[in-house]
Amino acid sequence: MSDVLQRLSNEIELRKHADSTNSYTSSLFARGEDAILKKVGEEAVEFILAAKEENPQHLVSEAADVWFHMLVMLSAKGLQVSDILRELERREGVSGHTEKASRGNV
């Protein structure tokens, strides 16, 4: 499964410097971090609203939109999907309460 996320992350990197008139992804980068963050927020709200419905496919679709826009933001910050996967692996098998307490004020 993570292969799909890695391929998407790689494609986002390729499109980062593409012609923004031909690439939605490139146009997000061209508009800057605030525009990307706005899209992450909009998509997160749409995800929340979809979760209140009885349409699982709509929820899945909105989750994919959130993930995509989060990957764009990560790329803008010089991060990759592999960074997130490593963090999830680090947390694997650790109680959520314990993990959160270990972060302090992060």
What is the residue extent of each domain of the chain?
2-91
pLDDT, position 105: 64
Confidence at residue 98, expressed as pLDDT on a 0 to 100 scale: 73
Give the pLDDT confidence score for residue 2 in this predicted structure.
Answer: 62
Assigned superfamily of 2-91: MazG-like (1.10.287.1080)
pTM score, two decimals? 0.85
Q: Dmax over Cα atoms in the chain, in whole Å?
A: 47
pLDDT of residue 94: 78
Per run of 10 residues, the mean pLDDT along the chain (length 106 residues) is 85 93 95 97 98 97 98 96 91 79 70
Q: Is 104 left (phi over 0), alpha (psi -120 to 50) or beta?
A: left
